[in-house]
Amino acid sequence: MLKSGSGGRTTGVRHDEPVDFEPYLGELVAFCYRMLGSFHEAEDAVQETLLRAWKARDRYDPARASVRTWLYRIATNVCLTALEGRGRRPLPSGLGMPSDDPGAPLVPALDVPWLEPFPDARFDVEGRVDLRLAWVAAVQMLPARQRAVLVLREVLAFTAVEVAEQLGTTVAAVNSALQRARAALADVDDAGAVSEPDDPEVRAVVQRYVQAFEAADVPALVRLLADDAVLEMPPVPLWYRGSRDYGRFLERVFGMRGTGWVMRELTANGQPALAAYAPELRLHTLQVFTVTDGQVAHNVVFADPRVFDTFELPREIPANPLRRER
């Protein structure tokens, strides 16, 4: 749980009014998440940012920078330090070719620091397009300073001068880093083609997916998929591309676990998501969907208990007699 200390208000020697950190908590967590690819690490980074800001409160000069700009300078340095000597956080699709074997062993790779989803309900954050899992996964490929420049300039709209000050570099270096980052992300799917989770068409697709999944109706599920739909399941490193292999894998799931699943709707990373409860009504996975052109184009299925805790999902749900008899 994030806390800013002393109610989030500090008093420095260079100004008369107290400094309020609270309005910036949500956007700072989102910034650190984009940088680090982990919600847990983002929370830790923001705590460290607030601690450093509290200790440096007497040196803060409002004539030089706003509180927001000052906090982002601290947060950027915290994230860059955290990224030193550390590999990126991938999704399975970033590690190798897709599998064509629906019966492949589901062996988790616990040594891989997987990309984590962002719990929308925990923070009021604007600009969730740049929280999309595909975008964040692509950003993880960038060198740390390019990553910082891209997020600070493109997402948060700081000027090149402000970013140069935050990173302790020149405007020319910032512009060069931004150009390289844009080029590296040129092939990332167009965010404009991805519909919002509250779009009526998206909600209809997700609700049909829920009905088909709860009925273990694989043909109905496959009809909702794009031809090249992707299914991936961190921490298991294998993944599938194409509605045929996606459907074959679902047949395996229902064959192993049976019918009587229960799905609950939520959102993650500004995308529609489902909490899937297996027939014994225990939490099984969190599934994050990309819906484009009225079809499911991508489903990232998380089975990490830490992710469940992040989203504050109950591990079990009570039986519904009407549902169980259906």
What would the pLDDT profile of 36-70 be if each residue is shown by its tens digit? 999 999 999 999 999 999 898 888 888 888 899 99
233 and 314 co-located in one domain: yes
CA dist., res. 297 & res. 235, Å (int):
20
Could you give the angle at the alpha carbon of 47 between the alpha carbons of 43 and 49, nearest 5°? Answer: 115
Asked whether residue 272 is domain-assigned, the answer is yes
Looking at 166, 184, 202, the residue that finishes a domain is: 184
Looking at 167, 184, 201, the residue that finishes a domain is: 184
**pLDDT for res 68:** 92
Q: What residues does 241 pair with on adjacent strands?
A: 230
The single-letter DSSP state of residue 265 is E
Asked whether residue 93 is domain-assigned, the answer is no
CA dist., res. 232 & res. 253, Å (int):
14
Q: 226-245: per-residue pLDDT in tens?
A: 999 999 999 999 999 999 99
302 and 180 co-located in one domain: no
| Predicted confidence band of residue 324 (pLDDT cuts 50, 70, 90) | very low
CA dist., res. 221 & res. 206, Å (int):
10
* CATH number for 307: 3.10.450.50
Across the range 13-37, mean pLDDT stands at 81
Asked whether residue 22 is domain-assigned, the answer is yes
62 and 17 co-located in one domain: yes
217 and 177 co-located in one domain: no
282 and 170 co-located in one domain: no
| Predicted confidence band of residue 14 (pLDDT cuts 50, 70, 90) | very low
Asked whether residue 96 is domain-assigned, the answer is no
In three-state secondary structure terms, 163 is helix
Comparing CA positions, the residue from 128, 126, 125, 148 lying closest to residue 26 is 125
In three-state secondary structure terms, 196 is coil
User: How much of the chain, in percent, has pLDDT values that exceed 70?
Assistant: 89
239 and 308 co-located in one domain: yes
Q: 141-155: per-residue pLDDT in tens?
A: 999 999 999 999 999
Asked whether residue 116 is domain-assigned, the answer is no
CA dist., res. 280 & res. 247, Å (int):
23
Across the range 194-223, mean pLDDT stands at 93
Asked whether residue 296 is domain-assigned, the answer is yes
Comparing CA positions, the residue from 283, 280, 278, 324 lying closest to residue 306 is 283
| Predicted confidence band of residue 319 (pLDDT cuts 50, 70, 90) | confident
Q: Is a pLDDT exceeding 90 seen at residue 202?
A: yes
174 and 152 co-located in one domain: yes
34 and 148 co-located in one domain: yes
313 and 276 co-located in one domain: yes
51 and 137 co-located in one domain: yes
**Which tokens sit at 69?**
């700009």
Taking the complete model, does pTM exceed 0.75, yes or no? Answer: yes
Q: Is a pLDDT exceeding 90 seen at residue 1?
A: no
Asked if 174 and 163 count as a contact pair (C-beta separation under 8 A), the reply is yes
Asked whether residue 33 is domain-assigned, the answer is yes
Q: Is a pLDDT exceeding 90 seen at residue 7?
A: no
Number of domains forming the structure of the chain: 2
The boundaries of the domain holding residue 145 are 6-84+133-184
| Predicted confidence band of residue 129 (pLDDT cuts 50, 70, 90) | confident
230 and 156 co-located in one domain: no
Q: Is a pLDDT exceeding 60 seen at residue 279?
A: yes
- Residue type (1 letter), 216: A
* CATH number for 45: 1.20.140.160
**For the chain, how far is it from start to end, CA to CA, in angstroms?**
40
Could you write out the DSSP letters of every residue in 240-264? EESHHHHHHHHHHHHHHH-S--EEE
203 and 282 co-located in one domain: yes
Looking at 162, 184, 206, the residue that finishes a domain is: 184
Alpha-carbon separation of residue 165 from 33, 56, 105, 162, 173 (angstroms): 22, 17, 50, 5, 11
Comparing CA positions, the residue from 218, 190, 201 lying closest to residue 272 is 201
Give Cβ neighbours of residue 62 (< 8 Å, ≥ 6 apart): 14, 15
Asked whether residue 155 is domain-assigned, the answer is yes
Q: 65-119: per-residue pLDDT in tens?
A: 889 999 999 999 999 999 998 888 999 999 999 999 999 999 999 999 999 999 9
